[in-house]
A and B are shown apart, each in its own frame.
Chain A
Amino acid sequence: MRVRLLYHTDVVALKRALESKRAVFDAEALLDHVMYMFEIEDVSRVTTHQLVRHRMASYDQESQRFSAATKESSVTPKSVQSNKAAMEAYDQGLKAVYDAYEKMVAAGVPKEDARYILPNGIKTKILMTVSGKALMHLVWQRTALQAQWEIRELANELLRCAKETTPELWNKIIER
């Protein structure tokens, strides 16, 4: 997994504009006006499927209609990795799936149809632009202990980026 913050709204510029109108607001009111754009790479489609459920955001994702899938690009959960029998089954399954995918593509099946056989765990890349308010809701839900491990990891990364760059808006967030 790799998460990078591409830009965020300049909070100082917002504050200055409000001050020029003699308006003072706390950080929470500004959250709605601070946008963050992230590039998220090498997470599974399982996770991006959960991510895009957060609808008040903008997404653009690597399309399987147009780009070919490769064998190396699958996320392996720890519970599988740490279990020899499970890992064997996982590897065999992946190999069979990608063999079938490649055979279908070689036989002239369009990628958009061959992809029907691809696994949920396949790695993907996605762009997300989201307001601080929507991001805070996402972080709140997805860093919870009940959240699934991969999106939890992602939510923690998003929080880390937001906290690093705009700490004044995120100070109130409780560390889990």
Chain B
Amino acid sequence: MKASLVWSSPSPEKTIAVAMRRCYSTKPIEEIDAELDQKGPEYWKYLLAKALQDKSLDVIEHFTMTFMVEGVKEAEAGELARSYPYVRLLRANADSWLISMNGRTLIEMWRNGTSRKTAEVFVSELRSREICPLLIPLAFEEKVGAS
């Protein structure tokens, strides 16, 4: 199985941080955004770690992405769609699929033994494109996955 990233949402880590602050702040979004810019990536990283630690993964749903994936059999695609209702698949040709998901689903996929290998393909593609350099080491490492 081979995945190439087609598109992912802009500034995903700051967006997740904005979503976290949205719950605790009465301020309009521009002010939350400016505050996060001013505090910088170290603070976003703190918020990301907190979301993972508190198991408040809903904020990570605002990070969305689409891959073109080769080498997926129909049965495998069906299994993925059944196990993860937030994953959407569109068959491009015999074994190529357009697959869209959000960051939370990817984490859940990674933590689940049966879909771990599939998740690793997506994560390594994100890593090679330098998407979410703060989130990836936090979310996709053994110690976080173990509960």
Contact = CB atoms under 8 A, between A and B. Distances in A.
Interface of A: 2, 4, 6-7, 9-10, 13-14, 16-18, 20-23, 25, 29-30, 32-33, 35, 37, 39, 41, 56, 58-63, 66-68, 125-127, 129, 131
B64 A14 contact: no
Interface residues of B, number: 35
A10 B102 contact: no
B6 A13 contact: yes
B66 A129 contact: no
27 contacts: A9-B64, A14-B7, A14-B66, A14-B98, A17-B6, A18-B90, A18-B92, A21-B96, A30-B90, A32-B90, A33-B66, A33-B90, A35-B9, A35-B100, A37-B62, A37-B64, A41-B29, A58-B62, A58-B104, A60-B20, A60-B62, A61-B23, A67-B24, A127-B29, A127-B62, A129-B62, A131-B100
B26 interface: yes
In terms of DSSP, what is the predominant structure of the interface of chain B? mixed
Given A9-B64, A21-B92, A60 B100 contact: no
